[in-house]
Amino acid sequence: MNLKVRLRWFAVACLAALAFAATALAAGSSLKVHAPKSVKLTKHYTVKVSGKASGHANFVVGWEVAGHKCKSNYAAEYHFLANPTSAPVSQSVTGPFSFTAGFTAAHTGKAYFCAYLINQTTTHTYKHAFKHWKEHK
């Protein structure tokens, strides 16, 4: 094999190793959402977001949304929601974490809470979790 071919294969192997290492660093991360199954209109309820951040995962963000299922990554949800400026769960994290957010049932139908464990600088999603419930009369 000539030198160019060997260098090209070496570069491919290095990139593959880096991708594997980045995935392995976040492998210990976890994310869960706990919410009620049903809530009466005008009643107060809480949603709990908990988990563990490892590797490059260092920020948790989450929203309650109505009328659509949660997207599989932070960027897609953020753009779908038309660049929201605030979130009830928005916090830097390291290691184990747990947050609660309070809401009042305001509409009938399905509601979702979408949570994402991301890298705050790159916005890469390491974990996502959601729960849905019904808000009713």
Secondary structure letter of residue 27 according to DSSP: T
- Residue 93 in domain: yes
pLDDT tens, position by position, 41-78: 999 999 999 999 999 999 999 998 887 899 999 999 98
Q: How many domains does the chain contain in total?
A: 1
Calculate mean pLDDT across residues 104-127: 94
Helices (H), the chain: 3-25, 74-80
pLDDT value for 84: 67
Containing domain of residue 60, as a range?
28-136
CATH of the domain at 117: 2.60.40.10
**Tens of pLDDT, residues 71-104:** 999 999 988 888 665 678 899 999 999 999 999 9
pLDDT score of 66: 84
Is 46 inside any structural domain? yes
Tokens 């570069």 belong to which residue? 11
Q: Give the pLDDT score at 62.
A: 93
The answer to the question of residue 111 being in a domain is yes
Instruction: Look at residue 18 and tell me if it is in a domain.
Output: no
Task: Report the chain's mean pLDDT, rounded to a whole number.
Answer: 84
Residue 2 lies inside a defined structural domain of this protein:
no
Residue 106 lies in a domain: yes
Burial degree of 105 (CB within 10 A; 0-12, 13-18, 19+): buried
Residue scoring higher pLDDT (24 or 103): 103
Mean of pLDDT values over 9-22 = 43
21 lies in some domain = no
d(CA 40, CA 3): 70
The residue with greater pLDDT, 5 or 66, is 66
Pairing of the two strands 125-136 and 38-40: parallel
Q: Is residue 12 part of a domain?
A: no
